[in-house]
Amino acid sequence: MASRQEQIIAVIDQLMTNAGADVVGAAAVGLDGIAFASRMSADVSTERVAAVAATIMGVTRRVGGELKIGSAEEIIIKANKGLFMVLPAGEQSLLAVNLRQDANLGLVRLEARDAARAIGQIV
């Protein structure tokens, strides 16, 4: 039986395979901001991205609460050189996905949702 971390890495690898080159990197992160499995590219710091991703989730939950629009299902940041997605993965963790600029967002969103669900079940 593969360890929890190996299982999560397998989910992330599957996401990267299914989404093709659109996904540049991905990490599974605890709500405490500490990554427990990551396939981020070498030029980004996983620790820093994990801390920031958890903070994005914290702020977004707050937005959902203040506006009474419910719980966050997906956060997409569109920047001028790429995209960044954060999704809850179960109750205790989240999936952060780094995308290239012209990514097929429709496909990636579907794949990322499946991956986040799978990670949530493993955690």
Residue number with CB closer to other proteins (59 or 107): 59
Q: Which is nearer to other proteins, 20 or 58 (CB)?
A: 58
Smallest distance, Å, CB 22 to other proteins?
A: 26
The residue ranges that bind other proteins (CB under 8 A) are: 30-34, 45, 47-48, 51-52, 54-55, 57-59, 61-62
Query: At its nearest, how many Å lie between other proteins and the CB of residue 110?
Result: 28
Which of 29-35's residues contact partners 24+ apart within 8 Å by CB, and which partners? 29/53, 29/54, 29/93, 29/94, 29/95, 29/96, 30/54, 30/92, 30/93, 31/57, 31/58, 31/92, 31/93, 31/94
